[in-house]
Amino acid sequence: MTIEYRLPDVGEGLTEATIVDWRVKVGDTVAVNDVLVEIETAKSLVELPSPFAGEISELLAAEGETLEVGAVILRASGGDADSGIAPGGTAADPDADGHPGRTSEEFAEAERDAESTMTGDPSGDGGGANLVGYGSAPAARSRRGRRSHAPVQRTAAATEAEVAAAATAARQAKPASVPAASAHPIVAKPPIRKLAKDLEVDLEAVQATGLAGEITRDDVIRHAEQAKLFTNLETPGWGSVREERHPVKGVRKMIAQNMVNSMFTAPHVTLFVDVDATRTMDYVKRLKESPDFAGVKVSPLLIVAKAVMWAIRRNPTTNATWTDEEYVIKHFVNLGIAAATPRGLIVPNVKDAHRMTMRQLAEALEHLTITARDGKTPVADQQGGTFTITNIGVFGMDSGTPILNPGEVGILAFGTVRPKPWVVNDEVQVRRVTTLTASFDHRLVDGDVASRFLADVAKIVEEPALLLD
């Protein structure tokens, strides 16, 4: 049986995609759900799983080639009644998420199963939107020690004493012939190892600060940020050619279209305000030390996100969509976070962020950030946003003039937090100060509403205790 696999539409009307990386070659035998190819759409990178079982006989597209949806990109031989092949030997149409041969319910179930595997949650409910898992732990299992380390058994609920004892046992079991660079075992929970892998961090190079000598989440993130800083300080050479030409396609093409449409369709108005963020930074420090936030990254962006949703409730027209015939005020917040990725700027959003607790929102923001950095953000996560935050502070910037995400009427830029002189009770003190910048669609958001919104966000940043009211 000859199978023709056609390029699917993986995201609500996309018309083309670029072949990035073939994961198979002619002669390979594949099973159902083996990854065939990675493609780039106007939204993100997507891996296409196989809807059939068989042998690859022909690859009909080259890496880097852009094709229309529906074009035949692969031929194979084999297949059976249960392998997801449509009548006539053509791969079945994909579901809405781009996974051929699955219904949306089956795909959702598979996603839950995958998350359950990562989090170690046998119930499969995931316990929230955890990226690498801090939900219920499974029963303790033995797992192979790293290199020549002695195997260690422990559960996610292990005490600090148990972790220390395991580290001591591993050191004692280490042969004397092991190089000095690996003289101490790496003590880190599986989720921390997963995070290090995602961030391309070598755990042997990380300085552990845990009470029992274990590597913590903050240790990994700190090391990754430092590595990124030094990488940015490197200055590349000019290269051997005077010019480089790159076709405008994929994510970059979509970014250009969206920015032009937004800038020349919606009349932007932009406001700025400097804010004393000292109490927010103190609050973030307390949250990091709280057992309720163990294992999740907490940053000032979390407080700003909560402040934005508080301000939206008080100024609802800032969370709306405008058309020439009507405007629609949304009584929910799908909070977009502008994310810089290797392939360009994207704006994934946290669905129904207004319903989340502080911990749930922190987990969702972390998941969103790491997924975007890896270029794996699903198309659905980039659609349906209602308000956007762009965190330019992570690049050391104080302020800017953000452009609206198409379909929204408001965006907030969060600048870096710096020690600055600030007048408190008629005295100059050193405080931690940031700049908040907001742009709005002036067709709907008037100056007084825009000013009240930005003032409300500033109130929370100055005094986060107001969130408890």
Closest CA to 461 of 423, 439, 433: 433
The 8-class DSSP code of residue 363 comes to H
Interstrand relation of 90-91 and 141-143 (parallel, antiparallel or unpaired):
unpaired
Closest CA to 202 of 179, 168, 226: 226
| C-alpha atoms less than 13 angstroms from C-alpha of 126 in its C-beta half-sphere | 16
Enumerate the β-bridge partners of residue 49. 35
Q: Over its length of 469 residues, how does the chain's per-residue pLDDT go in tens digits? A: 888 899 887 765 677 888 888 999 898 999 888 889 988 876 667 788 888 888 999 899 888 888 888 899 999 987 553 433 443 444 444 443 444 444 444 444 444 444 444 344 434 444 433 333 333 334 434 344 444 444 434 444 444 455 455 545 544 544 444 344 444 678 888 778 878 887 778 888 888 888 878 888 878 877 776 555 455 555 667 778 878 888 888 777 877 888 888 888 889 999 999 999 999 999 999 999 999 998 888 999 999 999 999 999 999 999 999 988 899 999 999 999 998 877 778 899 999 999 999 999 999 999 888 888 777 788 888 889 999 999 999 888 999 999 999 899 999 999 999 999 999 999 999 999 999 999 999 999 999 999 999 999 999 999 999 987 5
Residue 274 is predicted with a pLDDT of: 97
Largest CA distance in the chain: 84
Structure tokens at 400: 């800017």
Measured distance CA(462)–CA(315) in Å, rounded: 19
Closest CA to 138 of 156, 150, 152, 113: 156
Enumerate the β-bridge partners of residue 293. none
CATH architecture of 250-468: 2-Layer Sandwich (3.30)
Enumerate the β-bridge partners of residue 435. 274
Delimit the domains of the chain by residue range: 2-100, 103-135, 159-174+181-233, 250-468
Contact 275, 300 (CB under 8 A): no
The 8-class DSSP code of residue 459 comes to H
Contact 32, 53 (CB under 8 A): yes
Residue 330 is predicted with a pLDDT of: 95
Measured distance CA(73)–CA(67) in Å, rounded: 9
Contact 458, 441 (CB under 8 A): no
- Would you tell me the crossing angle of helices 278-289 and 447-462 to the nearest 10 degrees? 50
Residue 161 is predicted with a pLDDT of: 52
Structure tokens at 362: 């922190």
Alpha-carbon dihedral sign for residues 118, 123, 125, 129? negative
Alpha helix (H) ranges present in 173-238?
190-198, 217-233
Contact 422, 428 (CB under 8 A): yes
The domain 159-174+181-233: what is its CATH number? Answer: 4.10.320.10
Residue 69 is predicted with a pLDDT of: 86
Q: How far is CA 335 from CA 162, 385, 400, in A?
A: 41, 6, 20
Residue 376 is predicted with a pLDDT of: 78
Measured distance CA(275)–CA(213) in Å, rounded: 38
Alpha-carbon dihedral sign for residues 305, 309, 315, 321? positive
Measured distance CA(105)–CA(405) in Å, rounded: 30
Distance from CA of residue 346 to its chain's centroid? 10
Neighbours of 461 (CB within 10 A): 27
Residue 300 is predicted with a pLDDT of: 95
Give, for 462, the enclosing helix (H) or strand (E): helix 447-462
Residue 441 is predicted with a pLDDT of: 95
Residue 301 is predicted with a pLDDT of: 95
* b/e burial code for range 246-282 (CB count within 10 A of at least 16 → b): eeeebbbebbeebeeebeeebeeebeebebbbbbbbe
CATH 2.40.50.100, applies to 2-100: yes
Neighbours of 222 (CB within 10 A): 15
Tell me the three state secondary structure of residue 422: strand
Which residues does the annotation mark as catalytic? Answer: 442
Measured distance CA(72)–CA(75) in Å, rounded: 8
Q: Is the pTM of this model over 0.85?
A: no
Alpha helix (H) ranges present in 276-345?
278-289, 300-314
Measured distance CA(308)–CA(237) in Å, rounded: 42
Residue 206 is predicted with a pLDDT of: 86
